[in-house]
Amino acid sequence: MTISEKTALMVIDAQEGIKEEKHWGGNRNNPHAEKNIAALLSLWRKRNYPVIIVQHCSVSSVSPFRPGHDGNRLMDFVQLQSSEKLVQKSTASAFIKTDLQQFLEQEKIPSLVITGYVTNNSVEATARNAGDLGFDTTVVSDAVACFDKVAIDGTTYASAVVHELSLANLKDEYAIIMTTEEIVQALKSEP
């Protein structure tokens, strides 16, 4: 993968409400996601590459992401800077009912590096849409995280399994899957 000044880092739903683990299913995997997102965000900001912060503004009255609830706030390390794009969404995908696609086209941004929450929900939905729309899409496997999921038959699938299956759903068809370290190395090879 080539990373350039036209590669946008997207941080999805890195909001205080993600800490309300019971709401999401509990047993969150990848406890280092915040650290990895913060490292990538710092690199993008140092290079003045495009950053897109996605904030979920839920219409559900019980969601930790509902406006007016503390959980709707962006995590401290994510705080939007003046040069960055904020996308507020109310659906899983950051492309639905937002101006994200228009913004990417207007700014001539052909590629996205996606981080954030939840792997099998907003991350997967956004990456699928990005791939379908023709954007070169990378999901950073250790800069995303998810929770246990209960199937229709009542079986509980561990978050690590849900995470791996979600990434497998995306791999090669919609997105490239890379680690934070692989992204860092790719950035080091850029001028």
Q: pLDDT per residue over 127-150, tens digit each?
A: 999 999 999 999 999 999 999 999
Looking up residue 41, the CATH number of its domain turns out to be 3.40.50.850
Separation between Cα atoms, residue 32 and residue 136, nearest integer Å: 25
2 within a domain of the structure (yes/no): no
Residue 68 reports pLDDT greater than 90? yes
48 within a domain of the structure (yes/no): yes
How many domains are there within the chain?
A: 1
72 within a domain of the structure (yes/no): yes
152 within a domain of the structure (yes/no): yes
115 within a domain of the structure (yes/no): yes
Rounded to 5°, angle at Cα 42 from 117 and 19: 30
84 within a domain of the structure (yes/no): yes
Give whole-number Cα distances, 124 to 45, 101, 187, in Å. Answer: 24, 16, 24
Which residues, 6 or more positions from 33, have their beta carbon under 8 angstroms from its beta carbon? Answer: 115, 117, 142, 143, 144, 145
Residue 53 · residue 62 · CB < 8 Å: no
134 within a domain of the structure (yes/no): yes
Domain hosting residue 158, numbered range: 7-188
Residue-level pLDDT at 191: 65
Residue-level pLDDT at 2: 81
Residue-level pLDDT at 189: 78
Tokens of 2: 């080539």
